[in-house]
Amino acid sequence: MIKYTEHINESIKSDNNTIYYLRHPNNYDYLMVVEDNELKGFVTLGFITESMQRYGVFTNGTIWGPKNGDILISSLITKCGPVIPSSNESDSAKNAWLRRYNDINFITRRIPSLGFYSIYEQEDFLNTIYDIPNNLKRNIIINDLKSDNILYNTLCEQVKEKHIWMTEVFMKDKEKYYTLGESNDRFEWLKETNKYEKIDNEKEFFLRNKISFKL
């Protein structure tokens, strides 16, 4: 097995750290990093548009796992295909994508018709498709975890706990986690402040209200 630090090129061998794929009873598919039967991070597959489908590109959905973001994204790429940042990245996620954009271990490319960011030039890098080289993909061993495995229910419970935390803490403090540029959640909380003209179109809302990149 391969144990990854936050930078995927700084990997060290370890038999304690495993990457699992499982289909949860909540009907989401999960890729997760597990160490000594303890959940260290997980990622789900995000939405896919018709254009993305045409080019075989995906987005990530929910992701959690301090210091495990790179291996989670890399595992998702290995399992599904190249990934482009979604239309609702938090501030920390945007910073992580920028670091990967400058990391030689990630392969980046552009397709003019793909990408969700057009209001702020600082976020243009998010319109980038991320991939990893085949030699790294070969090092990422993804184990299918079936419901008859003794570990399955334990990990499902741990995933559930993290989802509850993200719903009750992370997503209820949008003013803290979504302060930069474009995102669905920044749009939602700014719209509720009653300081701006009510416009239902997200991009028009940012443009016509002259909302700065960061308040």
Q: DSSP letters of 86-105?
A: -S---HHHHHHHHHHHT-TT
More confident residue, 54 or 160: 54
More confident residue, 6 or 209: 209
pTM: 0.89
Please state, in angstroms and rounded to a whole number, the distance separating the CA atoms of residues 65 and 45. 15
Structural domains counted in the chain: 2
Domain-located, residue 74: yes
Which residue range forms the structural domain that includes residue 197?
173-208
**Whether residue 99 is found in the same domain as residue 178:** no
| Sheet hosting strand 60-64, strand order edge to edge | 60-64, 38-45, 29-35, 17-23, 142-144
Domain-located, residue 91: yes
Domain-located, residue 35: yes
Q: Are 184 and 88 in contact (CB under 8 A)?
A: yes
Q: Are 202 and 182 in contact (CB under 8 A)?
A: yes
Given this model, what pLDDT does residue 183 score? 96
**Whether residue 145 is found in the same domain as residue 194:** no
Domain-located, residue 156: no
Tens digits of residue pLDDT in 139-154: 888 999 888 898 999 9
Tens digits of residue pLDDT in 70-112: 999 999 999 999 999 999 999 999 999 999 999 888 999 999 9
**Whether residue 113 is found in the same domain as residue 193:** no
Name the average pLDDT for the chain.
88
Half-sphere exposure of 159 (CA within 13 A, CB side): 26
In the structure encoding, which two tokens stand for residue 191, read together?
Answer: 């719209």
Domain-located, residue 165: no
**Whether residue 25 is found in the same domain as residue 106:** yes
Domain-located, residue 70: yes
- Whether 209 shows a pLDDT value over 60: the answer reads yes
Angle made by CA atoms 69, 155, 130, in degrees to the nearest 5: 25
**Whether residue 10 is found in the same domain as residue 68:** yes
Q: Are 57 and 63 in contact (CB under 8 A)?
A: no
**Whether residue 129 is found in the same domain as residue 60:** yes
Domain-located, residue 199: yes
| 35: Cβ contacts below 8 Å, ≥ 6 apart | 3, 16, 17, 18
Given this model, what pLDDT does residue 17 score? 61
Domain-located, residue 185: yes
More confident residue, 58 or 165: 58
